[in-house]
């Protein structure tokens, strides 16, 4: 284990891995079937949406139930611009900035409120967004929606549409991922983490919780806009149903299932969002809700920290199966345990990363 | 430092597993557009496969489930008799591949992407945005998207939608039929309108206005809307009752709200003649709990026999339909949504087209699709028929105005 | 004027639907410290149980009582075997688990009873009485009174009984609750059980109007959450008043405020929340939570 990580930490190895991944991403669209490409592109769209949600929720700890609204706004702006023959760069910028500005305005107000109240204000976005999209039918096409095939492959590329669209997702989505990664790994990321863990401490350190919450929220809306642009590029259609509240809830679930406060987790969350409905359809199209609910619960039972913790979980299990039991201690059952309250597992940590917040895990002993 | 390394490792493993997962089941580039030799995808010498994307979960799952059950019932029965005899002399079994889109356009497109290489044609799916989501893709892929359950006129416009055809009358057709009846009554009418705030409600109201155009005896006194997600329309009914209109035009597709509207109006002692669209006109599921007999007349439009109506209890079509639905459609209730009957008729219409096809290709299918006329599908009311030859109109464009008689419906020629 | 009063009364009866679900959410929150998205789904499941029992010949009142009992047991079991694993972990994960529960329960209802609308028998008749010139159905009045009764009961439970205090203690600080000898596990189960039982009442009250479908409570849930935040999480009276306020104001706004109209009336509770929380962050009736750092 340690030899592998040691090997991986060498600079040239990292560069080599980066290069391999980059080449793979460039080649992938050329190799796969149309359907696989379309699916990968869809995953990319929602992986970006989940990434945005992760910035505000996973990293900064502010519950947002409105992320799908920004995706919807981004998609509408893109659709409107594309059908009115705007320059594609202008379309992209508008599709990111409009949700960003809305996000900023909402955040300026909402970040004054605490925890649950922010959740309620953000719930309002998709709930009001749907009828609002219908009312603004001159821009949105009303309930019949807006379609635009602006993202078909240009002739000079010689590519199929699905390949071109997947390249768009890889380039734009990839850039978004890199920028976000740098943001959350840097000074802002540390500030977000402090705001998340304790606002009072943050304030005492000169970090204004209010300003950082507004910042995180705005970044999340900008990223939502990027996701909306890609949504329109891949699905080429949007309607008020895009912003339905239930999709926002599913995004939230995908974020937690993928892994909160994790870049890779966001990617896995996007995959979850797209693939699970397909799998449940393959098993039995009449039982999709039942299967999706069961799978969600099962995943969190096995991996409370999300899919991203799978390798860590496996490593932990392996170590546990060794006779000496690794670093983990057995918990001594208390003399008088509360009925039905079992000894809870201790916070699993590997390499210093707690998979759970280090709360009162070993209480009632 | 240790922390970062682990993240990196985790990341690499996670990324690889994510990619591996998506690759599972994918083939090469060729299989996306391929199919049987000499024919299109989804058709062999012994089978033809039809694809459906429709809501099977969520708020519209009730009617959505019906769109699958009806067509499965029809072709299940046909397959049991050996299959459908095609115009090229071969007899094929018809297979249905239905997927749930939960009324989400994004999922509908995804389902279409998944199905298009495997099915001969897409059909019967319910919903305007969900059908629109893959309309353009179906055109550019040249995949038929036919006899779909939306009254959106774009699907029946050959210029706009060369690979499409709607099945059910446009919302405009239905609204217009009632408007004309009212305009011809010879009496003065004031009309209150409550419509769903989307293309469904707007289409009905547009059609109604078209029907009463130029008629000086009909006046719309108030128009209100509601959202499909609302839990109550009490306030709207209260406001409309205040107008004391003698006709209520209620373009509503939500079962509980339709019942509640009827009940609320009675509580307010407002008893106008009432119009309900074909979606929400079920005698058992809506009019009976809504105590519709309290009104001077409840009107609806239809082209299908209502199985719950005692008038059709002994009807051969209805009996066959109900037993097919139970046996092959996996649907044991007497359907409260007309979509079950509609998709059964869709099956019968496709059967007609199949019989005419001389080549097993999508191209030939689309050609023959537009040649069915004066076909009286099972369950069709007298005076209505399937006619796919008129550009700009869906397969069924004629409807009968009916009046509720306390147990079922009777077709009426005049208002009152 | 007649119309105004009628709209006001209609609003109250709408608000009652939100109120009864909101009370269940408050109960779970007070007893376990979390927000349960599955509350509506559990209420629907209870309503199906009631409906199933009446279809098999039980009188409605008996069916409701049996369903309340079953729901209490089920709620306790869900806490013990599903939620317990997540209660001390990341709160976001716990919320997502309740979302998973909601999806699963909705799916189970759809599987067992289809997505078709079922007619649910009503406890109260639809006959109307005249109040200040407005027609009010006996059903609305009955629902109203049941809610007031539950509200007072809950208020008394949390403020006046040992059980209520113990439940709250566990929710606020399970560690010290355990130290002071409270059976934490059992209390958590009881909290979920009580909320589920209340959900059974909620289901029976609203199902006759909304007709029984797996997603019956979905739209009401958002309003109920709004009422919970508006009224203050800790106050049963507060959330009920807030729910009524929302019901009434949304009707009045739809009719009298032109730019809102019937399509955007759903914005009313959120505007209300916003205005109120800026002035009173703890909600209309909530207690201020003081956190020591």
Looking at residue B190, which CATH number applies to its domain?
A: 3.40.50.2300
Residue C280, pLDDT above cutoff 80: no
Contacting chains of C (3 CB pairs or more, <8 Å) are: A, B
For residue B149, the 8-state DSSP code is: B
- Give the integer Cα–Cα distance in Å for C33 and C89: 13
- Residue pLDDT, tens place only, B329-386: 989 888 888 899 999 999 999 999 999 999 899 999 999 999 998 899 999 988 899 9
- Give the integer Cα–Cα distance in Å for C19 and C43: 13
Question: In this structure, is residue A102 part of a structural domain?
Answer: yes
Mean pLDDT over the full length of chain B: 87
- Residue pLDDT, tens place only, C186-219: 888 998 999 999 999 999 998 988 889 998 988 8
Question: In this structure, is residue B130 part of a structural domain?
Answer: yes
Longest CA span, chain A: 76
Q: Other C-beta atoms within 10 Å of A275: how many? A: 18
Nearest to A74 by CA among A133, A154, A143: A133
Assess A294–B contact: CB distance below 8 Å, yes or no: no
Question: In this structure, is residue A95 part of a structural domain?
Answer: yes
Q: Is residue B149 located within the same domain as residue B121?
A: yes
Q: Taking CA A154 as the corner, what is the angle to CA A151 and CA A159, rounded to the nearest 5 degrees?
A: 95
Task: Write the residue in B1, B29, B58 that is nearest to A33 by C-beta.
Answer: B29
Q: C117, B230: Cβ pair inside 8 Å?
A: no
Q: Which of residues 104-143 of A touch B (CB under 8 A)?
A: 130-131, 134, 142-143
Assess A27–C contact: CB distance below 8 Å, yes or no: no
Residue A325, pLDDT above cutoff 80: no
Query: Both tokens of residue B215?
Result: 């008629």
The pairs formed by A182-189 with CB atoms below 8 angstroms and a separation of 24 or more are A183/A55, A183/A219, A184/A55, A184/A59, A184/A261, A184/A263, A188/A212, A188/A215, A189/A59
Nearest to A299 by CA among A276, A328, A281, A324: A276
Task: Write the residue in C7, C210, C262 that is nearest to B238 by C-beta.
Answer: C7
Question: In this structure, is residue B153 part of a structural domain?
Answer: yes
| Domain final position from B302, B331, B364 | B302
Question: In this structure, is residue A231 part of a structural domain?
Answer: yes
Tell me which H or E stretch contains C160: helix C138-160
Contact between B105 and A145 (Cβ < 8 Å): yes
Question: In this structure, is residue B1 part of a structural domain?
Answer: no
Q: Is residue B65 located within the same domain as residue B97?
A: yes
Kindly report the nearest CA distance between residue B234 and chain C, in angstroms: 6
Assess A290–C contact: CB distance below 8 Å, yes or no: yes
Task: Write the residue in B8, B10, B113 that is nearest to A35 by C-beta.
Answer: B113
- Residue A4 binned pLDDT confidence (cut-offs 50, 70, 90): low
Average the pLDDT over A326-331 and give the result.
43
| Domain final position from B234, B267, B302 | B302
| Domain final position from B302, B328, B357 | B302
Percent over 90 (pLDDT), chain B: 54
Q: What is the pLDDT of residue A199?
A: 85
Kindly report the nearest CA distance between residue A211 and chain C, in angstroms: 17
Assess C114–B contact: CB distance below 8 Å, yes or no: yes
Question: In this structure, is residue B308 part of a structural domain?
Answer: no
Q: Which of the residues B5, B10, B108 would you substitute to probe the A interface, choosing the one with the greatest number of A C-beta atoms within 10 Å?
A: B10
- Residue A200 binned pLDDT confidence (cut-offs 50, 70, 90): confident
- Do the interacting molecules here have an ipTM over 0.90? no
Contact between A282 and A325 (Cβ < 8 Å): no
* Domain of A231, in residue numbers: 9-244
- Give the integer Cα–Cα distance in Å for B363 and C155: 70
- Give the integer Cα–Cα distance in Å for A267 and B8: 14
Q: B234, C213: Cβ pair inside 8 Å?
A: no
Kindly report the nearest CA distance between residue A209 and chain B, in angstroms: 26
Q: Which of residues 218-247 of C touch B (CB under 8 A)?
A: 218-220, 223
Q: Is residue B205 located within the same domain as residue B298?
A: yes
- Give the integer Cα–Cα distance in Å for A50 and B7: 19
Contacting chains of B (3 CB pairs or more, <8 Å) are: A, C
Residues in B closer than 8 angstroms to A35, CB to CB, are: 26, 32, 113-114, 117
**What domain count does chain A have?**
1
pTM (predicted TM-score): 0.88
Question: Terminal CA-to-CA distance of chain C, rounded, Å?
Answer: 54
Percent over 70 (pLDDT), chain B: 91
* Domain of B256, in residue numbers: 172-302
- Give the integer Cα–Cα distance in Å for B169 and C50: 39
Q: A267, B14: Cβ pair inside 8 Å?
A: yes
Question: In this structure, is residue B378 part of a structural domain?
Answer: yes
Kindly report the nearest CA distance between residue A32 and chain C, in angstroms: 33
Residue C142, pLDDT above cutoff 80: yes
Q: Which of residues 84-123 of C touch A (CB under 8 A)?
A: 84-86, 88-90, 92-93, 95-97, 99-108, 110-111
Q: C92, A256: Cβ pair inside 8 Å?
A: yes
Average the pLDDT over A129-135 and give the result.
91
Which ranges constitute the DSSP H helices of B155-243? Answer: 171-183, 199-211, 234-241
Q: Is residue B107 located within the same domain as residue B59?
A: yes
Q: Which of residues 22-81 of C touch B (CB under 8 A)?
A: none
Q: What is the pLDDT of residue B8?
A: 46
Query: What is the residue whose two structure tokens read 């997540």?
Result: C86
Question: In this structure, is residue B226 part of a structural domain?
Answer: yes
**What domain count does chain B have?**
2
Contact between C143 and C18 (Cβ < 8 Å): no
Q: Is residue B70 located within the same domain as residue B118?
A: yes
C274, closest residue in chain A (CA to CA): A121
Q: C101, A260: Cβ pair inside 8 Å?
A: no
Residue C246, pLDDT above cutoff 80: yes
Residue C24, pLDDT above cutoff 80: yes
- Give the integer Cα–Cα distance in Å for A307 and A259: 6
Q: Provide the phi-psi class of B246: left if phi over 0, else alpha when psi is between -120 and 50, else beta.
A: alpha
Question: In this structure, is residue B346 part of a structural domain?
Answer: yes
Q: Which of the residues C90, C171, C286 would you substitute to probe the A interface, choosing the one with the greatest number of A C-beta atoms within 10 Å?
A: C90
Q: Is residue B294 located within the same domain as residue B375?
A: no
Question: In this structure, is residue A269 part of a structural domain?
Answer: no
Question: In this structure, is residue A351 part of a structural domain?
Answer: no
Kindly report the nearest CA distance between residue A147 and chain B, in angstroms: 7
Q: Is residue B223 located within the same domain as residue B281?
A: yes
Residue A126 makes CB contacts below 8 A (sequence gap 6+) with A65, A66, A68, A69, A72, A243, A244, A245, A247, A248
Q: Which of residues 30-49 of C touch A (CB under 8 A)?
A: 35, 37
Average the pLDDT over B249-274 and give the result.
92
Residues belonging to chain A: 365
- Give the integer Cα–Cα distance in Å for C92 and C85: 13
Q: Is residue B279 located within the same domain as residue B232?
A: yes
Q: Is residue B163 located within the same domain as residue B181?
A: no
Q: C117, B267: Cβ pair inside 8 Å?
A: no
Residue A22, pLDDT above cutoff 80: yes
Kindly report the nearest CA distance between residue C100 and chain A, in angstroms: 5
Q: A235, B133: Cβ pair inside 8 Å?
A: yes
Q: Other C-beta atoms within 10 Å of C262: how many? A: 23
Contact between C201 and C150 (Cβ < 8 Å): yes
Question: In this structure, is residue B24 part of a structural domain?
Answer: no
Q: What is the pLDDT of residue B100?
A: 95
Question: In this structure, is residue A77 part of a structural domain?
Answer: yes
């Amino acid at each position: 284990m340690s030899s592998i990580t040691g090997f991986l930490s060498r600079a040239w190895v990292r560069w080599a891995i980066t290069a391999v991944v980059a080449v793979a991403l460039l080649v992938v669209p050329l190799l796969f079937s149309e359907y696989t490409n379309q699916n990968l592109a869809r995953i990319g769209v929602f992986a970006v949406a989940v990434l945005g949600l992760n910035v505000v929720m996973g990293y900064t700890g502010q519950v947002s139930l409105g992320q799908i609204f920004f995706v919807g706004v981004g998609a509408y702006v893109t659709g409107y611009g594309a059908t009115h023959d705007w320059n594609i760069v202008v379309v992209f910028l508008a599709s990111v900035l409009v949700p960003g500005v809305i996000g900023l305005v909402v955040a300026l107000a909402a970040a004054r409120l605490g925890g649950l109240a922010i959740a309620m204000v953000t719930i309002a976005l998709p709930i009001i967004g749907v009828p609002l999209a219908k009312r603004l039918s001159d821009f949105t096409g009303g309930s019949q929606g807006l379609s635009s095939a602006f993202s078909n492959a240009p002739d000079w590329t010689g590519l199929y549409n699905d390949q071109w669209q997947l390249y768009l997702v890889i380039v734009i989505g990839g850039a978004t991922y890199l920028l976000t990664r740098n943001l959350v790994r840097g000074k802002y990321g540390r500030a977000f983490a402090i705001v998340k863990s304790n606002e009072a401490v943050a304030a005492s350190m000169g970090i204004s919780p209010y300003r950082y919450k507004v910042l995180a929220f705005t970044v999340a809306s900008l990223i939502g806009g990027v996701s909306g642009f890609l949504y329109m590029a891949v699905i080429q259609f949007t309607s008020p149903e895009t912003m339905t509240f239930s999709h926002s809830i599913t995004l939230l679930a995908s974020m937690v299932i993928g892994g909160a406060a994790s870049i890779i987790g966001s990617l896995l969350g996007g995959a979850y969002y797209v693939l699970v409905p397909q799998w449940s359809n393959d098993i039995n199209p009449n039982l999709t809700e039942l299967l999706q609910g069961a799978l969600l619960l099962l995943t969190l039972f096995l991996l409370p920290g999300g899919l991203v913790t799978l390798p860590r979980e496996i490593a932990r299990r392996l170590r546990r199966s060794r006779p000496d039991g690794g670093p983990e201690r057995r918990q001594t059952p208390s003399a008088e345990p509360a009925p039905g309250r079992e000894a809870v597992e201790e916070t699993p940590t590997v390499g210093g990363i707690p998979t759970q917040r280090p709360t009162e895990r070993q209480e009632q002993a | 430092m240790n922390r970062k390394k682990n993240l990196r490792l985790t990341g690499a493993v996670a990324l690889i597993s994510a990619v591996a997962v998506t690759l599972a089941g994918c083939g090469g580039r060729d299989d996306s557009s391929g199919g049987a030799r000499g024919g299109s995808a989804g058709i062999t010498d012994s089978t033809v496969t039809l694809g459906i994307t429709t809501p099977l979960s969520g708020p519209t799952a009730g009617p959505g489930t019906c769109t699958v059950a009806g067509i499965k019932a029809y072709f299940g029965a046909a397959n049991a008799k050996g299959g459908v005899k095609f115009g090229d002399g071969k007899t094929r079994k018809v297979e249905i591949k239905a997927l749930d889109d939960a009324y989400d356009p994004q999922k509908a497109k995804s389902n279409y992407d998944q199905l298009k290489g495997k099915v001969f044609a897409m059909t019967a799916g319910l919903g305007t945005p969900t059908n629109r989501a893959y309309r353009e893709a179906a055109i550019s892929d040249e995949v038929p998207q036919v006899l779909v359950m939306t009254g959106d006129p774009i699907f029946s416009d050959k210029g706009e939608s060369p690979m499409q055809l709607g099945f059910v009358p446009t919302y405009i057709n239905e609204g217009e039929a009632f408007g004309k009846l009212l305009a011809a009554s010879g009496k003065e009418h004031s009309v209150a309108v409550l419509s769903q705030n989307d293309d469904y409600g707007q289409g009905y109201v547009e059609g109604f206005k078209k029907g009463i155009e130029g008629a000086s005896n009909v006046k719309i006194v108030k128009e209100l809307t509601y959202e499909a997600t609302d839990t109550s329309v009490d306030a709207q009914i209260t406001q409309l009752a205040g107008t004391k209109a003698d006709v209520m035009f209620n373009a509503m597709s939500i079962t509980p709200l339709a019942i509640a509207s009827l009940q609320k109006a009675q509580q307010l002692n407002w008893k106008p003649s009432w119009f309900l669209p074909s979606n929400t006109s079920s005698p058992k599921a809506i009019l009976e709990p809504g105590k519709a007999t309290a009104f001077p007349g409840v009107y609806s439009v239809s082209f299908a026999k209502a199985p719950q109506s005692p008038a059709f209890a002994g009807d051969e079509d209805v009996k066959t339909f109900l037993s097919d639905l139970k046996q092959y459609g996996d649907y044991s209730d007497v359907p409260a949504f007309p979509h079950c009957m509609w998709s059964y008729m869709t099956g019968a219409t496709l059967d007609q087209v199949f019989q005419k096809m001389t080549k097993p290709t999508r191209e030939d299918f689309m050609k023959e699709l537009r040649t069915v006329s004066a076909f009286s599908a099972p369950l069709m009311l007298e005076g209505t028929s399937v006619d796919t030859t008129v550009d700009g109109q869906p397969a069924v464009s004629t409807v009968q105005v009916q009046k509720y008689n306390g147990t079922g419906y009777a077709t009426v020629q005049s208002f009152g | 004027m007649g119309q105004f009063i009628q709209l006001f009364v209609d609003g109250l009866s709408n608000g009652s639907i939100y109120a009864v679900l909101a009370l269940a959410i408050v109960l779970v929150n007070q007893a376990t410290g979390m927000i349960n998205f599955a509350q509506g789904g559990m209420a629907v499941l209870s309503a199906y149980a009631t409906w199933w029992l009446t279809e098999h010949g039980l009188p409605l009142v008996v069916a409701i009582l049996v369903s309340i009992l079953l729901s209490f047991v089920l709620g306790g079991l869900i806490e013990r075997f599903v939620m317990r694993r997540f209660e001390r972990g990341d709160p976001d994960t716990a919320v997502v688990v309740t979302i998973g529960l909601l999806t699963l329960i909705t799916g189970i209802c759809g599987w067992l009873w289809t997505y078709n609308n079922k007619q649910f028998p009503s406890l109260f008749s639809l006959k109307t009485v005249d109040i200040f010139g407005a027609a009010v159905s006996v059903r609305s009045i009955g629902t109203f009174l049941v809610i007031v009764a539950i509200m007072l009961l809950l208020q008394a439970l949390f403020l006046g009984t040992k059980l209520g205090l113990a439940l709250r203690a566990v929710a606020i600080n399970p560690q010290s609750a355990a130290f002071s000898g409270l059976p934490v596990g059992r209390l958590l189960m009881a909290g979920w059980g009580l909320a589920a039982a209340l959900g059974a009442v909620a289901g029976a009250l609203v199902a006759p109007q909304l007709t029984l479908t797996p997603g019956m409570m979905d739209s009401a849930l958002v309003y109920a959450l709004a009422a919970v935040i508006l009224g203050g999480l800790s106050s049963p009276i507060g959330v009920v008043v807030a729910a009524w306020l929302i019901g009434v104001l949304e009707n009045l706004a739809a009719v009298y405020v032109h730019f809102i109209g019937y399509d955007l009336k759903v914005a009313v509770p959120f505007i209300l929340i916003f205005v109120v929380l800026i002035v009173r962050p703890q909600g209309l009736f909530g207690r201020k939570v003081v956190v020591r750092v």
